């Protein structure tokens, strides 16, 4: 014997029927807080601020990055200060 029961209700009605708490206000509060944090930190991940934070600790880092990219691409020979054997 096979019995099928279909119940047509909204998720809110199902939670209320089973006695589960309404978490809607808590979800709204958490999402509002998360949105505020994301918006307040959005400036920290802009390309300009990232580059500035990378290059502030060593004045020659831009030159080192350039040398690294040239070496990785195999586009250049040794720098003028390097001696070839």
Q: What is the residue extent of each domain of the chain?
A: 45-76
Task: State pTM to two decimals.
Answer: 0.43
Mean pLDDT of 72-77: 71
Banded pLDDT at 27 (limits 50, 70, 90): very high
Is residue 41 within 8 A of residue 34, CB to CB? The reply is no
Q: Which two tokens stand for residue 57?
A: 């600790």
CA distance 38 to 43: 9
68 or 31, greater pLDDT: 31
Give φ, ψ of 36 to 5 degrees. Answer: -60, -40
**Percentage of the chain modeled with pLDDT above 90:** 34
**Residue 77, pLDDT above cutoff 70:** no
50 or 42, greater pLDDT: 42
CA distance 82 to 85: 10
């Amino acid at each position: 014997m096979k019995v099928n029961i279909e119940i047509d209700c909204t998720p809110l009605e199902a939670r209320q029927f089973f006695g589960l708490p309404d978490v809607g206000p808590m979800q709204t509060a958490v999402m509002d807080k998360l949105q505020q944090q994301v918006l307040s930190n959005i400036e920290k991940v802009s390309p300009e601020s990232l580059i500035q934070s990378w290059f502030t600790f060593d004045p020659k880092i831009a030159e080192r990055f350039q040398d690294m990219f040239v070496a990785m691409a195999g586009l250049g020979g040794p720098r003028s200060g390097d001696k070839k054997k």
